[in-house]
Amino acid sequence: MKNLTDMTDEELALAYVNGNNRAFDVLLERNQSRLFSYILFVVRDRELANDLFQETFVKIITKLHAGKYTTTGKFGAWILRIAHNVMMDWYRRKRTDKTVEQGRDNDLTNVNPTNFLDLNIENHYVNDQVMSDVKKIMDLLPPTQREVVFMRFYQEMSFKEIAELTHVSINTALGRMRYAVMNMRRMAQKHHVVLQLD
């Protein structure tokens, strides 16, 4: 029998459905950081993110047991879609205009820019400052724009995947990215911030 740590997420999900509870522990261990980072990035409140994270995993368990997961090789995208739906349900329940107060502890410190940039010693400090400025500007974007930027650049998802995950058309996803970039450029100019990495 295959070792749990050698199984794909899809194999672990099926093993869990077939009664192997340890398989779910491995799934959770593999995916919790990425999933929590995504939720925190969108809602910008650590306590709320924890609540929504827990709710998301309850829904994942429920859907797995209800047979609503089919192996497509995209378990990560499937759980992100569930998290997205949980967040949208929360926004609807709160009947807000989908704007969120800025949380003190959401400065994207859980996203390490060195994972995304090929840094060398000479440019390290300049790039750190640029990434810090980018994070501050991204925090000012509306949630839907912040979400698409996070998915595209920090999770390297295609616009097709983003559209499917957020239940919008590809054109809407592209439009949100376009507006996010325009807003970030406008804010950078207003505050005299240079958004160019060396």
Count the neighbouring beta carbons within 10 Å of the beta carbon of residue 141. Answer: 20
- Domain spans of the chain, in order of start: 1-97, 125-197
- pLDDT computed for residue 6 by the predictor: 92
Instruction: Identify the pLDDT of residue 146.
Output: 87
Residue 78 burial by CB count (10 A; 0-12/13-18/19+): exposed, middle or buried? buried
The reply to whether 125-197 shares the fold of 1-97 is no
- Pair of tokens at residue 105: 């502890």
Cα–Cα distance for residue pair 2/11, rounded to 1 Å: 10
Q: How many CB atoms are located within 10 Å of the residue 136 CB?
A: 14
Block means of pLDDT (10 residues each) for the chain, 198 residues, are: 87 90 90 91 89 90 85 84 89 61 49 49 56 76 86 80 88 86 82 60
CATH of domain 1-97: 1.10.1740.10
Widest distance between CA atoms in the chain: 60
125-197 is classed CATH 3.30.750.210: no
